[in-house]
Amino acid sequence: MTPQNQARQAPADGPSRRPENLMDLFDGIEPWKGEVKKGRRRNFIGALHPVEPWDREKTFPDETEYQETELPRVNWGECFFEWVSTLMAVRRARHRFTMVSLGAHFGGPLVDAALALQTLNPMPFFLVGVEADPHMCAMLDEHFRENGIDPNDHWIINCAVNDTNRPVVFPVSEMRTGANSMLHSLDQYEQLFESIRQAGKCEEILRNVLTAASTQLYIPLANMEGTPEARGELRFVSSVTVADVLGPLPFVDYLEIDMQQAEEWTLPPARELLKRKVRFIHLGTHGVRLHRDMADMFAADGWEVLVDLTPDTKFDTPEGAFSTCDGVLIAYNPLLQDYAP
């Protein structure tokens, strides 16, 4: 990596690995290969990926096809480093593994961690997924079941993560875009009101809100590459704070966060609780300024920032180049290095 794009690394005797040895984390994992139903696929740890919403009307034949997978590589970028966080946390777990995902989407990292745990460090586990979109919560439930995890033994919380418990307006969509972002500031709500007023729809929207907790207004959402165009329906959803989620849990091995900028107002109020309860954090950041603020917050609170990759940046490595969209911060809590629940 070039000096200005260098990922911060822990000391050689710390819980992480230096960049040239990150692949050591994958020791003991044989990439999945085998038969899978046509139209489906598994990743290298064996997790069956969900059916995309735009494919749900297709009839998949009863035929199967042979697939082989490969271990992640550094030039996969953000995806590779999410696996780094997962495997660090899984390998360090003792007795019982607890993982929380804020902005859980369809629950991919939760299932991946559970299957990696079964392969590398078998023990009981408890998973918590917090997701504002009810469509994604339904997909998360299905993703658990398809991969042999009973969702009734874990928590799927259909709420936005906020700094208060006030309900918020959130664009929900059956499309798996990952671009949904709640309205938080007063300015955003004022702009929404003004657009409704100018359209002469105040009475209609008020009726929708009172009878369905939804505006029945739609906004375009950013698309993942290769997916159909998506739009989100603006609905009111309940909110929980980080303290609400972590409070009942005695200890969290791994906290995975991807909240489309909500980290800015949701994480600072929970700083002391994070230090007291969480061993590893993987944070997907949004915007260079916010990324730096979060990195500085972790450092000030005594976390070791093991990997620090700014958003929208190209990185050159011996394994190949990659570019980030979201930033990546992997933080380790040395206060809990010897904790075993």
Query: Rounded to an integer, what distance in angstroms lies between the CA atom of residue 178 and that of residue 176?
Result: 6
For residue 110 the two structure tokens come to 């939760």
Query: Rounded to an integer, what distance in angstroms lies between the CA atom of residue 145 and that of residue 48?
Result: 10
Check residue 268 and report its DSSP letter: G
Query: Rounded to an integer, what distance in angstroms lies between the CA atom of residue 244 and that of residue 157?
Result: 11
Q: Which distant-in-sequence residues (6+ apart) come within 8 Å of 309 by Cβ?
A: 5, 7, 78, 81, 315, 324, 327, 328, 329
Name the phi and psi angles at 54, rounded to 5.
-75, -10
pLDDT of res. 163: 96
pLDDT of res. 232: 85
Name the phi and psi angles at 6, rounded to 5.
-80, 130
- Tokens 């969509």 belong to residue: 173
- Tokens 């009111």 belong to residue: 236
Number of residues that this document lists for the chain:
341
Write the pLDDT tens digit of every residue in 171-192.
998 877 767 788 888 999 999 8
**How many H-runs (helices) and E-runs (strands) does the chain carry?**
9, 16
Model confidence, pTM = 0.89
- Answer whether 44's CB lies under 8 Å from 70's CB: yes
Query: Rounded to an integer, what distance in angstroms lies between the CA atom of residue 91 and that of residue 94?
Result: 8
Enumerate the H helices of the chain as residue ranges.
78-92, 108-120, 134-146, 186-198, 202-212, 242-246, 263-266, 271-277, 288-300
Residue type, 339: Y
For residue 296 the two structure tokens come to 């500085």
For residue 116 the two structure tokens come to 């990696």
pLDDT of res. 202: 93
pLDDT of res. 223: 63
pLDDT of res. 175: 78
Topology given in CATH for the domain delimited by 72-164+241-336: Rossmann fold (3.40.50)
Domain boundary assignment for the chain: 72-164+241-336, 168-237
- Tokens 């906290």 belong to residue: 255
Residues in the chain where the model's pLDDT stays below 70: 1-20, 53-61, 178, 223-228
Q: In the chain, what is the straight-line distance between the N-terminal and C-terminal CA atoms, in Å?
A: 38
pLDDT of res. 52: 74
Helix (H, G, I), strand (E, B) or coil at 45: coil
Half-sphere exposure of 49 (CA within 13 A, CB side): 15
User: Bridge-partner residues for 171, per DSSP?
Assistant: 234
pLDDT of res. 327: 94
CA 211 from chain centre, in angstroms, equals 32
